[in-house]
Structure 1
Amino acid sequence: MPNVAGKWDCVVNSPLGEQKSVLTVNDNGDGTWSGDNTGTMGGLSCDNGKVDGNKITWTMDMKVPMPMTLECDATIDGDTLTGGVKAGAFGTSPMKGTRVSG
């Protein structure tokens, strides 16, 4: 089973430019995970975290700069994370990350 847990330095290429953050993934061992995502615009709780092999999905309720639910997915390959963040009508922005601990 792939190890998805850890802290990940991530960059999302969003409509507002590059958004850097640290994603914390705590594998609950039952197909779910919990954690948070902290960046320059503050921290968000990661909700509805699911693990399927080396793929993770989750949602985040963003308040700033406008309220919306972000739908996120990522594939983990060793210490590399690639995926996307769907922000409603703004579409999906690519995300990449590197494990910094875990």
Structure 2
Amino acid sequence: MANVDGEWDCVTKSPLGEQKSVLTVRSDGNTFTGSNVGAQGTLDIIDGKVDGNKLTWKSEMKVPMPITLDCSATIEGDTLTGQVGAGAFGSFPMTGVRKG
């Protein structure tokens, strides 16, 4: 199993500009918990799943509007690449690097 645990400095390219955040991942077998903390507040990880080096999860965004985000990421070494799906607003690329 890939080492997906840790804190990741992430950037999501959204229509509101680049959104910086820190994604925290704590895996337990094929599931994970954690949060994604940025300027818009803290988004808890909901239904986090681990499949090798691939992560999928949901988060409930409250600001600037309530929406469920569908997220996915692939971790290779100290690099994270993924997508943040925002329903009718489309999907936005996310990149990150492991902190520390």
Q: TM-score range by the shorter chain?
A: over 0.9
**Regions of 4+ moved over 4 Å:** none
Partner of 1:93: 92
Unmatched 5+ stretches in structure 1: none
Distance 2:31 2:78 in 1: 20
Distance 1:95 1:44 in 2: 15
Q: Shift of residue 60 of structure 1?
A: 0.2
Give the match's secondary structure for 2:99.
strand
Partner of 2:35: 36
Partner of 2:19: 19
Partner of 2:49: 50
Unmatched 5+ stretches in structure 2: none
Q: Shift of residue 39 of structure 1?
A: 0.3
Q: Shift of residue 41 of structure 1?
A: 1.1
Distance 1:43 1:61 in 2: 10
Distance 2:80 2:47 in 1: 19
Q: How many residues align?
A: 100
TM-score, normalised to structure 1's length?
0.96
Specify the code of the residue in structure 2 equivalent to 1:78: G
Q: Shift of residue 2 of structure 1?
A: 0.7
Instruction: Report sequence identity in percent.
Output: 63
Distance 2:15 2:67 in 1: 14
What root-mean-square deviation, in Å, do the aligned CA atoms of Structure 1 and Structure 2 show? 0.6
